[in-house]
Amino acid sequence: MEYLHVSIEINGVKLEVIGNYWPGEAASWDSPGESESIEIEKILTENGDDIGGLLGFSNELSSHIEALAMEAHKDGIICAAQDAADRNREYLREMGETA
């Protein structure tokens, strides 16, 4: 499980989604595996109002928010890994110049 805290935008409305992300598990000989999923704890507006309770009224909206949040979370992980690789290359370059 990973902590999920991302910003998304739906029809010009910016929302902050807070919850948990499960990356899923591949199938094995003793387990059918699990698909990735998220659990939303809060959906905050720009004013800080939690509108997460509204998800119960629309399965379509709920699914859309979950998909956007999962995509934003994955994009954040990829960006963080790329940033770390860039920092590592820069560090190695600097160490090579001083050695």
Global confidence as pTM: 0.74
- What single DSSP character describes residue 11? T
* Cross-strand partners of 16: 7, 44
Contact indicator for 35, 24 with CB cutoff of 8 Å: yes
Q: What are 12-57's pLDDT values in tens digits?
A: 999 999 999 998 888 888 888 899 999 999 999 999 999 999 888 9
Q: What are 1-10's pLDDT values in tens digits?
A: 889 999 999 9
Residue spans of alpha helices (H) in the chain: 59-98
